Amino acid sequence: MTAADGLGFASRAIHAGQDPDPQTGAVIVPVYQTSTFAQTAVGEHRGWDYARSGNPTRDALEAALASLEEARHGFAFSSGLAAGDAVLRTCSPGDHVVMANDVYGGTYRQFAKVHQPWGLAFDPVDLSDLESVAAAWRPQTRLLWIETPTNPLMTVFDIAGLSELAHERGAVVVVDNTFATPYLQQPLQLGADVVVHSTTKYLGGHSDVVGGAALTNDDALAERIGFLQNAVGAVPGPWDTWLTLRGVKTLAVRMRAHCDNARAVVACLAESTAVRQVLYPGLPTHPGHEIAAKQMRDFGGMVSFRMADEDAALAACSRFRLFTLAESLGGVESLVEHPGRMTHMSVAGSPLEVPGDLIRLSVGIEDPTDLVADLLQALD
């Protein structure tokens, strides 16, 4: 594929799909800021004809992401939800989906408000209970949607076990790998059929671009997703693609720092009398700790915790100084949010409603002593 073949993860993040430009020798992939491409003759071109259908900068990102997820096919989208939408469109009206009962609020909204009215049925299920998953199965079930660790309750699901169950029943397994990233977890190697990402988060890594991706080793699924990418047109522009590609280069080193800092934050939270529960897969007391240790390289930079009540959680959110009160996650800067009133407002009143006493942290790569100091003063 490229000079990155056979290299380790960090090397592929820098080199896969990103060989020096053959025409100029440029070490960094250029931003091909164009909407169309000159053709050599009628119906003949050099690989690109119109930028919705393809762009050399986007091709480089898709190759890099596919390499990191060890996939044969990669597709970049304008957002994580656009990537998920394309995957769901591989189903047909009348089909049924079993999904995790703790997913990102935007994912649930897309299921409930967009695809269900179109004719796609779904059931949220506790995927940690295989008997419940089997009980929810229907003859029309075509897809199992997994998110692990989940947003925002940090639940961990067994990708290999669930994939085996779904494949025995002829269904496709999709894993939202946004929280873990391919550096920490590679679902395709655990049996999943499709991986989706919000590249806005850790893959971009700098809170300056919105994007998404879908990766697969299934040739038939790839053909369908590629068709939908072009036909629906939810593709990223070349500048957004270039920013994401730049972020991917430092994914390995950033994720190591995120994980190290999260451990320092969790240790602080565990000792605080103001905190009644810490939700982090790295804790031996976490219900999914053993599964996470088996299928993840490390435990990530996302931490959630519960306060005495919602008033206490809201008050604490207002007192952070270094952690920025904001939605999103996965950037180099640390963020704090109240999921019930921010990112997960869309699931209020639904089976996925999150507790009002919950706070979610996206732990950045600042000096860990500064993060702990800010945490202590906010919880005091």
Residue 109, token pair as written in the block: 């909204």
Distance CA 58, CA 157 (A): 32
Q: Are 249 and 15 in contact (CB under 8 A)?
A: no
Distance CA 212, CA 204 (A): 10
- Which candidate in 52, 109, 319, 341 is catalytic? 52
Residue 329, token pair as written in the block: 């996650």
Q: Is the peptide bond before 281 cis (omega within 30 degrees of 0)?
A: no
Query: Is 246 one of the catalytic residues?
Result: no
- Which candidate in 85, 158, 176, 240 is catalytic? 176
- Which candidate in 201, 254, 297, 360 is catalytic? 201
- DSSP secondary structure string, 232-266? H-----HHHHHHHHHHHTTHHHHHHHHHHHHHHHH
Residue 301, token pair as written in the block: 């930079």
Distance CA 141, CA 126 (A): 16
Query: Is 280 one of the catalytic residues?
Result: no
Q: Are 325 and 313 in contact (CB under 8 A)?
A: no
Main-chain phi, psi angles of 107, to 5 degrees:
-65, -45
DSSP state of 36: B
Query: Is 158 one of the catalytic residues?
Result: no
DSSP state of 28: S
CB atoms within 10 A of CB 199: 32
Distance CA 24, CA 312 (A): 58
Query: Is 104 one of the catalytic residues?
Result: yes
Cross-strand pairs, 2: none
Residue 282, token pair as written in the block: 């790295």
Best CA proximity match to 292, nearest among 305, 279, 307: 279
Active site positions, annotated: 52, 104, 176, 201
